[in-house]
């Protein structure tokens, strides 16, 4: 019933989609900023909490994850025992002169 200047359905739909995309972009920017700031506040040398710095041993990474609260004590102990067992078997296989 609109003639010559009224907004049609497609106009309203495109405005709605544009608004949703704009709000999503703002939310993404806020999320990225918070992730970046939280990494800087913790003194982490890793961008966006990514992979650890090269050269860190598996045990050091495990200790860092436990210290940051990413894993609980039970998980830490299990993983530590697994790493120690792996290091023992790995070091004994390297000491074989065969």
Any idea which residue has 């992979």 for tokens? 51
d(CA 72, CA 18): 44
Q: Which of 24, 11, 67, 21 is nearest to 43 (CA)?
A: 67
Q: Which two tokens stand for residue 18?
A: 């544009």
Q: What is the pLDDT of residue 48?
A: 46
Q: What is the pLDDT of residue 78?
A: 95
The helix (run of H) or strand (run of E) holding residue 8 is none
Q: Which of 39, 38, 88 is nearest to 59 (CA)?
A: 88
> Does 7 or 69 have the greater pLDDT score?
69
Q: What is the pLDDT of residue 54?
A: 63
**Predicted model pTM:** 0.40
pLDDT digits (tens, 9 = 90+) for 9-68: 888 899 999 999 999 999 999 999 998 888 666 555 554 455 555 667 888 999 999 999
Q: Which of 39, 82, 43, 42 is nearest to 59 (CA)?
A: 82
Q: What is the pLDDT of residue 40?
A: 66
């Amino acid at each position: 019933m609109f003639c010559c200047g009224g907004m049609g359905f497609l106009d309203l739909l495109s405005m709605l989609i544009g608004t949703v995309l704009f709000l999503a972009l703002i939310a993404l920017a806020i999320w990225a900023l918070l992730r970046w700031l939280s990494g800087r506040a913790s003194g982490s040398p890793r961008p966006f909490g990514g992979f650890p710095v090269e050269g860190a041993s598996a045990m050091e990474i495990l200790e860092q994850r436990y210290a940051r609260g990413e894993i609980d004590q039970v998980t830490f102990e299990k993983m530590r025992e697994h790493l120690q067992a792996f290091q023992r078997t790995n070091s004994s296989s390297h000491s074989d002169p065969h």
